[in-house]
């Protein structure tokens, strides 16, 4: 059942991203300085490192701060009774990055030695990878704050995607579309008369959602390997098939055509395999390729999307487009909004206000996503100023080019939106929300989010500190990148006459423990709906 496609593999995906040990965008400001598991700093990972790890775990020769297994001076830690506890940054011995060096790291080290595939470690040359300049008008649109985390696919301008449709000697597609058909499904123009609208094409979905800020295009190629599907296992097997296909197709492809932002990396390379392949390896996922030794026409591979979400027929491909749309959101820098390791209830956002592409893959992207992707024009981001007292805003239909948002800052609003705040939008069942997936409840009206988009630099790359899978969310009970106000399985869309105050669950700021307990001191009143807009009034509750 495809509803759990992303969630069932969420733990694996988060582990893959962590183990990649590579920034989301290896620009000229990064330098490769070593390998995870290189405990003696000889720039190789071999049996000598395994001996050091074993002696540490046995207690015969514990690693200490004086050992040379730290990468330069960027990694610090304190040796404790329960293992080596990583400090502010991870040490090279903590291969699985769980904050402790233990038997699980020994297992990963053995795998790296056997497979001759150590994990790279990168260092930011300047020591600061977060731009200080505020988000400014980027021509017609605001700048994209996702550019402050590391990724390869641009969210503005031209994004390029290369699709390889691959099968195996013993595992073929039940329906093999031509490359022209794949390209039309992936990159075709808007077709409102399509029975699959708004999933008629990936590009059309993003053009509507981005108000034209993103132009996604690309090409598709077939590839058949002479090997068995069992010869390609998990991420290492995915990479092996991908590089094998790129080498075989090199004479047909100019890989320079797939670098829309001119950073020297292919924006996104997609590998689709038959639907009957094992979900252990081929359940759709998006990860960094993380190996710069593979270069094609001078281009390195950035993000790769892999999966068995095949096109079933000329009229049955919704799983292909909806799945790749979600995964492309990751390539542009967005995290998952659903909760990892919550099999009984993985949804991060509930109720009729809870549909979101990065949560349940059920509909359009929310105002939170669009803000960080840079899909608002300058005058479409309105900010409540508490010093001005009562303010009334007009919110236009989020599924149109006029769609806008209101931000309520908690204290000072970070100039690049990497802080805590509320966001308000008027959502409808139009355009990208017009045909939600069957398991998604969707309403029309006002919805309010609580956001903490703070950043975290783990010594290799910057990510959203409170994203799903992070160690900082207190198992999702604390701060999170995105929450809904009144987040529950009910009709939680607000309409005319609704009043949101401190008695509404979630309409509070975070306290020092990460709980929503701090009174905002505000009241939000939902005004009249006028044609395709709502008025929203924000006032201090003392007034």
pLDDT digits (tens, 9 = 90+) for 305-352: 999 999 999 999 999 999 999 999 999 999 999 999 887 889 999 999
Could you tell me the pLDDT band of residue 25, with boundaries at 50, 70 and 90?
Answer: very low
Tell me if 78 sits within 8 A of 70, measured CB to CB.
no
| 157 Rama sector, left if φ>0, alpha if ψ -120 to 50, beta otherwise | left
The 10 Å Cβ neighbour count of residue 459 is 19
Angle 498-481-380 (CA atoms, 0-180°, nearest 5)?
60
- Could you report the per-residue pLDDT of 39-50, keeping only the tens digit for each? 887 778 888 888
pLDDT of residue 134: 58
- Could you report the per-residue pLDDT of 521-530, keeping only the tens digit for each? 999 999 999 9
Tell me if 353 sits within 8 A of 493, measured CB to CB.
yes
CA gap 269, 271 in Å, rounded: 7
Could you tell me the pLDDT band of residue 98, with boundaries at 50, 70 and 90?
Answer: low
Q: Which two tokens stand for residue 499?
A: 């009043």
DSSP letter for 509, please. E
Average of per-residue pLDDT across 192-211 = 97
- Could you report the per-residue pLDDT of 278-308, keeping only the tens digit for each? 999 999 999 888 788 899 999 999 999 999 9
DSSP letter for 397, please. B
Angle 150-332-218 (CA atoms, 0-180°, nearest 5)?
125
Please provide residue 211's backbone torsions phi and psi, each rounded to the nearest 5 degrees.
Answer: 60, 25
> pLDDT: is 455 or 139 the higher one?
455
Which strand (E) or helix (H) includes residue 57? Answer: helix 47-58
Could you tell me the pLDDT band of residue 131, with boundaries at 50, 70 and 90?
Answer: very low
CA gap 540, 349 in Å, rounded: 27
Tell me if 524 sits within 8 A of 537, measured CB to CB.
yes
Q: Which of 99, 90, 92, 100 is nearest to 118 (CA)?
A: 92
> In the chain, what are the domains?
30-124 (1.10.1330.10), 152-331 (no CATH), 367-540 (no CATH)
- Could you report the per-residue pLDDT of 391-443, keeping only the tens digit for each? 999 999 999 999 999 999 999 999 999 999 999 999 999 999 998 878 888 99
Average of per-residue pLDDT across 172-198 = 97
Give the pairing type, strands 265-272 and 295-296.
unpaired
- Radius of gyration for the alpha carbons in the chain, expressed in angstroms and rounded: 24
CA gap 312, 304 in Å, rounded: 22
Q: Is the pLDDT of residue 17 over 50?
A: no
Q: Which of 69-78, 102-111, 525-534 has the lowest mean pLDDT?
A: 69-78
Largest CA distance in the chain: 75
| Number of continuous H segments (helices) and E segments (strands) in the chain | 10, 26
Tell me if 65 sits within 8 A of 79, measured CB to CB.
yes
pLDDT of residue 121: 58
Tell me if 113 sits within 8 A of 482, measured CB to CB.
no
Q: Which of 80-89, 126-135, 360-369 has the lowest mean pLDDT?
A: 80-89
Average pLDDT taken over every residue of the chain: 86
Which strand (E) or helix (H) includes residue 181? Answer: helix 179-187
Angle 402-406-408 (CA atoms, 0-180°, nearest 5)?
170
Q: Which two tokens stand for residue 56?
A: 């540490």
Name beta bridge partners: 219: 162
Q: Is the pLDDT of residue 446 over 60?
A: yes
Could you tell me the pLDDT band of residue 460, with boundaries at 50, 70 and 90?
Answer: confident
Q: Is the pLDDT of residue 79 over 70?
A: no
> What is the residue whose two structure tokens read 């329960």?
82
DSSP letter for 69, please. T
Q: Which two tokens stand for residue 394?
A: 């007009």
DSSP letter for 399, please. T
DSSP letter for 223, please. E
Tell me if 153 sits within 8 A of 144, measured CB to CB.
no
| Four-CA torsion 166, 171, 176, 178, nearest 10 degrees | 20
The 10 Å Cβ neighbour count of residue 346 is 20
CA gap 306, 308 in Å, rounded: 7
Half-sphere exposure of 372 (CA within 13 A, CB side): 28
Percent of the chain scoring above 90 in pLDDT = 68
Q: Which of 114, 118, 107, 106 is nearest to 45 (CA)?
A: 118
Tell me if 30 sits within 8 A of 123, measured CB to CB.
yes
Tell me if 405 sits within 8 A of 382, measured CB to CB.
yes
Tell me if 317 sits within 8 A of 311, measured CB to CB.
yes
* Beta strand extents in 251-333 (DSSP E only): 265-272, 285-288, 295-296, 299-307
Q: Which of 415, 413, 395 is nearest to 405 (CA)?
A: 395
Tell me if 115 sits within 8 A of 397, measured CB to CB.
no
- Could you report the per-residue pLDDT of 368-382, keeping only the tens digit for each? 999 999 999 999 999
DSSP letter for 118, please. P
Half-sphere exposure of 43 (CA within 13 A, CB side): 2
CA gap 112, 466 in Å, rounded: 29
Q: Which two tokens stand for residue 273?
A: 């395999």
Contacts of residue 229, Cβ cutoff 8 Å, sequence gap at least 6: 168, 170, 171, 273, 277, 278
């Amino acid at each position: 059942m495809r509803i759990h496609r992303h969630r069932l593999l969420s733990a694996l995906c988060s582990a893959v991203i962590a183990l990649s040990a590579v920034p989301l965008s290896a620009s000229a400001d990064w330098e490769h300085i070593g390998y995870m598991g290189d405990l003696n700093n000889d720039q190789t990972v071999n049996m000598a490192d395994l001996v050091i790890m074993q002696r540490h775990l046995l207690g015969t020769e514990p690693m200490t701060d004086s050992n040379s297994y730290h990468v330069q001076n960027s990694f610090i830690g304190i040796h404790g009774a329960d293992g080596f506890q990583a400090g502010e940054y991870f040490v090279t011995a903590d291969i699985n990055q769980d904050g402790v060096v233990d038997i699980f790291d020994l297992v990963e080290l053995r795998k790296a030695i056997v497979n001759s595939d150590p994990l790279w470690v990168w260092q930011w040359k300047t020591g600061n990878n977060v731009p200080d300049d505020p988000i400014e008008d980027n021509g017609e649109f605001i700048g994209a704050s996702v550019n402050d985390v590391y990724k390869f696919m641009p969210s503005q301008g031209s994004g390029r995607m290369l699709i390889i449709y691959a099968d195996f000697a013993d595992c073929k597609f039940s329906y093999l579309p031509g490359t022209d058909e794949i390209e039309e499904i992936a990159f075709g123009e808007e077709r409102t008369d399509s029975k699959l609208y708004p999933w008629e094409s990936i590009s059309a979905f993003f053009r509507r959602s981005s108000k034209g800020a993103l132009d996604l295009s690309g090409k598709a190629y077939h590839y058949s390997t002479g090997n068995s599907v069992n010869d390609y296992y998990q991420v290492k097997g995915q990479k092996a098939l991908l590089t094998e296909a790129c080498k075989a197709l090199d004479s047909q492809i100019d890989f320079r055509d797939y670098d829309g932002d001119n950073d020297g990396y292919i924006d996104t390379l997609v590998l689709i395999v038959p639907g009957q392949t094992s979900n252990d390896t081929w359940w759709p996922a998006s990860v960094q390729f993380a190996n710069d030794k593979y270069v094609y026409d001078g281009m390195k591979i950035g993000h790769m999307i892999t999966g068995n979400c095949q096109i079933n027929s000329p009229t049955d491909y919704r799983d292909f487009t909806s799945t790749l749309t979600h995964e492309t959101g990751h390539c542009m820098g967005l995290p998952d909004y659903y909760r990892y390791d919550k099999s009984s209830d993985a949804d991060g956002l509930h109720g009729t206000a809870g549909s979101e592409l990065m949560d349940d893959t059920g509909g359009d992207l929310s105002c939170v996503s669009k803000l960080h992707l840079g899909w608002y024009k300058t005058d479409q981001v309105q900010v409540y100023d508490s010093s001005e007292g009562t303010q009334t805003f007009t919110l236009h239909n989020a599924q149109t080019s006029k769609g806008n948002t209101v931000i309520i800052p908690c204290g000072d609003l970070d100039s690049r939106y990497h802080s805590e705040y509320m966001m308000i939008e008027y959502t409808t069942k139009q355009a990208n929300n017009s045909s939600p997936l069957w398991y998604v409840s969707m309403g029309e009206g006002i919805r309010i989010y609580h956001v903490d988009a703070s950043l975290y630099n783990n010594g290799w790359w910057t990510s959203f500190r409170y994203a799903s899978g992070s160690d900082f969310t207190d198992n999702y009970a604390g701060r999170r990148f995105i929450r809904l106000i009144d987040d529950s399985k009910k009709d939680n869309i607000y309409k005319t006459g609704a009043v949101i105050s401190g008695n509404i669950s979630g309409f509070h700021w975070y306290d020092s423990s990460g709980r929503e307990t701090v009174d905002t001191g505000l009241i939000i009143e939902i005004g009249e709906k006028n044609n395709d807009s709502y008025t929203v009034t924000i006032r201090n509750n003392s007034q």
